[in-house]
């Protein structure tokens, strides 16, 4: 009986990770690595937090494109350039990276820990 419970917990944990974790082939970078690319014209920076969160605290190089709008607004991004994605903790940006990958973007990076880890 205990082994069934443990197996169920492991399976549920794995499924949750697959649902909300970063997608395949999505790089995770630090805030320092993101900052080092601020002057690179071949990099696009997007912040997928809500408009209210963005107004409250933002990094000026990041364009606000809330996660719920990303599917409709991805055409505003150049799929041939790197995209660096930021949110508050790294969870929504991980979902955004997966969405961009599904839409054909090949060079997508998630800022590890989001603004919570921004230095």
Q: What is the pLDDT of residues 50-99, one digit of tens each?
A: 999 999 999 999 999 999 999 999 999 999 999 999 999 999 999 999 99
Residues 81 and 20: their CA atoms lie apart, in Å, by 25
Residues 60 and 54: their CA atoms lie apart, in Å, by 10
Q: Does residue 6 form part of some domain?
A: no
Q: Does residue 17 form part of some domain?
A: no
Q: Does residue 36 form part of some domain?
A: yes
Q: Does residue 40 form part of some domain?
A: yes
**87 versus 23: which is more confidently predicted?**
87
Q: Hey, which residues does 44 pair with through a beta bridge?
A: 83
Q: CA nearest 16: which of 5, 27, 8?
A: 8
Q: Does residue 7 form part of some domain?
A: no
Q: Does residue 95 form part of some domain?
A: yes
**Are 52 and 68 contacting, i.e. CB atoms less than 8 angstroms apart?**
no
Stretch 15-38: mean pLDDT, rounded? Answer: 76
> How much is the pTM?
0.79
Q: Does residue 16 form part of some domain?
A: no
Residue ranges making up the domain that contains 60:
22-117
Q: Does residue 96 form part of some domain?
A: yes
Domain count, the chain: 1
Residue 19: the pLDDT is 52
Q: Give the CATH number of the domain where residue 33 resides.
A: 3.40.250.10
């Amino acid at each position: 009986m205990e082994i069934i419970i443990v197996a169920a917990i492991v399976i549920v944990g794995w499924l949750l990770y697959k649902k909300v974790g970063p997608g395949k082939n999505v790089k995770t970078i630090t805030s320092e690595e993101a900052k080092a690319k601020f002057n690179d014209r071949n990099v696009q920076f997007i912040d997928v937090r809500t408009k209210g969160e963005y107004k409250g605290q933002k990094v000026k190089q990041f364009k606000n494109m809330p996660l719920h709008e990303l599917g409709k607004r991805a055409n505003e991004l150049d799929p041939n350039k790197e995209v660096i994605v930021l949110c508050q903790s790294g969870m929504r940006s991980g979902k955004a990276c997966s969405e961009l990958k599904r839409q054909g973007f090949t060079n997508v990076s998630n800022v590890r820990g989001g603004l919570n880890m921004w230095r």
